Structure 1
């Protein structure tokens, strides 16, 4: 952003917790500021604000708000007629459309973003877009494609020397190895990622990686190891305030208890997951609710 106007001073935010508290308190104001910036000819500022809010909206599950600001940002980027901004706007909107299950919209946006980044020689943009396309591939059931996109992202981040991004993608590569059934390879990648993320102090990345480690152990039949890894992930996520990811992991905790024959613990975990997903109005609620469905086909969770 440009320098602050005279008389305006930035408010220091010492750590993640204070930043999250500030964002929560200013949530409605920030939405209005994005709209105001776009409406008063400050297109670049509207884009910067919208993209800066992505991690907050994603972790808190505010996807409908995110959809609104990302549409505003893409419109603003197109008015500026700068390919770099348009590519970033396409990726931002495509990612959130994918979160909401609008894959017929998200996939072509992400593919167009990748093409623009490629033309500009922007390897950082390409790498992040490959990650998003990997997630899209997973949603369509194309797990080899998901792994391939993340391997391409990993190679780009290594060449760029971006250690933080590299650590996150190492976990994604491990996750897709696990989904493809290569659980030992998954653990190798994920433990490498976990060490890097701990060195970097990235708690959210650590939580995602503990989830992947839990999934790999779960499918190797090491259920106590899986539950321990999931517990580590949930402890971190609850401190960070990430209800969707928490729900996703709780569903797997329920699956693990079910595999161990502990139906009471399984139903308790699924019930907690379903409540979180219903509060977010997320389509995954139906998938989790099906695990709890009784003979009449109605999930017995209020």
Structure 2
């Protein structure tokens, strides 16, 4: 058991994960940990989580390579990979239930993953397990046996990483996922991986890399006549061109996405596309038209209980009000969006909403509210490593004196 824990090479391990790795009940895993703890080979540094010293873990891994039968290690490590894949998939479905699902690989009868029904508990699990999830994703890639599980694990933890603002970590995960998907050769998987890899690059301002991956995704989707895939790529391209400041190109892709989603009768994605069309219409000065699109999006989201889309529509309506020189309307919508993003645990957009509130408050000379909002945004931007946003907010705060 000591050797298998070394072979897994996790920064720490929980009781359910250890039970799956070792092929034991949780009670059996606890008994094993007690033996190892008495020998000072492992420690329970927080309740329910154990870790090894780096040198001890290295020695355990070396012993595993010398002593453990290869098939024994492979079976144990595969159980660990599928435990994390299915647990993460269950957690993601709770925190982002409207996300188009994927069909994940079977866990096998000996794997006992966790299941979630409470979004708060799901987010807490991701928070405690994220470092292990990243390690297991690398393990799945390097094993050479779990290519499909590797990109699916990246998909499963992507919502949480994006909402928490782990932007560079997302890029690393999708880079590994792309290598795994290319090995597997599944065209639909490659469309999805290129699209989300492109989105990850968009969020760190790497426009050329983002559009390269998004064009590859769009070409693949067109080749296999995947209408839904094409629409999703057009939708993601709007964000790439938005970051570049190319509003008209962003609007063209938003309109293309909207037409396809409407033809597919996909109300959730139609609402998302309506919101984006409204956003770019506002930037081009068509404020009333923009408001109409965003209000249609808001109505659809509320009808379908699509809370993330609702938050985004509220934020875009705030932006329309801001551009239309209606600050009170803008503040009302931005505050509603902020409240909803906080409920969803979407810290990335929480920071953006605070930033917007600061901007509008400053415009009406409510300097105290502007400072409070910008200071809140700055703390999150710093945590997320969004340096350009940090520098911009610091300049704003200096203007306030």
Q: The TM-score by the shorter chain falls in which range?
A: over 0.9
Structure with bigger RCO (C-alpha 8 Å, 6+ apart): 1
- For residue 30 of structure 1, what is the aligned residue in structure 2? 133
Partners of 2:259 and 2:243 in 1: CA distance: 23
- 1:284 and 2:357 correspond: no
What is the deviation of 1:183? 1.5
Which of residues 114, 125, 138 in structure 2 aligns to 1:11? 114
- 1:121 and 2:225 correspond: yes
TM-score using structure 2 length:
0.70
Moved more, 93-102 or 259-268: 259-268
Moved more, 284-293 or 234-243: 284-293
Written as runs of structure 1 = structure 2, the 5 A alignment for 1:127-206 is 127-206=231-310
Deviations 1:138-184 (A, max 9, x none): 11111011011011001111111211111111111111111212121
Report if aligned partners of 2:354, 2:377 keep a CA contact under 8 Å in 1: yes
- For residue 92 of structure 1, what is the aligned residue in structure 2? 196
- For residue 313 of structure 2, what is the aligned residue in structure 1? 209
Partners of 2:167 and 2:365 in 1: CA distance: 36
Which of residues 290, 293, 300 in structure 1 aligns to 2:398? 293
Partners of 1:82 and 1:203 in 2: CA distance: 32
What is the deviation of 1:10? 4.3
Partners of 1:15 and 1:159 in 2: CA distance: 34
Higher alpha-carbon Rg: 2
Partners of 1:100 and 1:12 in 2: CA distance: 32
Partners of 2:125 and 2:371 in 1: CA distance: 35
- 1:48 and 2:138 correspond: no
- For residue 83 of structure 1, what is the aligned residue in structure 2? 187
What is the deviation of 1:237? 1.1
Partners of 1:180 and 1:250 in 2: CA distance: 24
What is the deviation of 1:230? 0.9
Report if aligned partners of 2:105, 2:149 keep a CA contact under 8 Å in 1: no
Partners of 2:111 and 2:220 in 1: CA distance: 37
- For residue 231 of structure 1, what is the aligned residue in structure 2? 335
Distance 1:180 1:15, change over 3 A: farther
Partners of 1:224 and 1:84 in 2: CA distance: 45
- For residue 111 of structure 1, what is the aligned residue in structure 2? 215
Aligned Cα RMSD in Å?
1.7
Partners of 1:8 and 1:199 in 2: CA distance: 38
TM-score using structure 1 length:
0.92
Deviations 1:73-101 (A, max 9, x none): 00111112333332222212111011111
Partners of 2:106 and 2:383 in 1: CA distance: 39
Moved more, 84-93 or 254-263: 84-93
Length, aligned pairs only: 296
Partners of 1:74 and 1:126 in 2: CA distance: 18
Q: State the secondary structure of the residue aligned to 1:158.
A: helix
Which of residues 105, 108, 112 in structure 2 aligns to 1:2? 105
Partners of 1:177 and 1:289 in 2: CA distance: 30
Deviations 1:97-146 (A, max 9, x none): 11111112111111121111111111111111111111111111110110
Which of residues 342, 348, 354 in structure 2 aligns to 1:244? 348
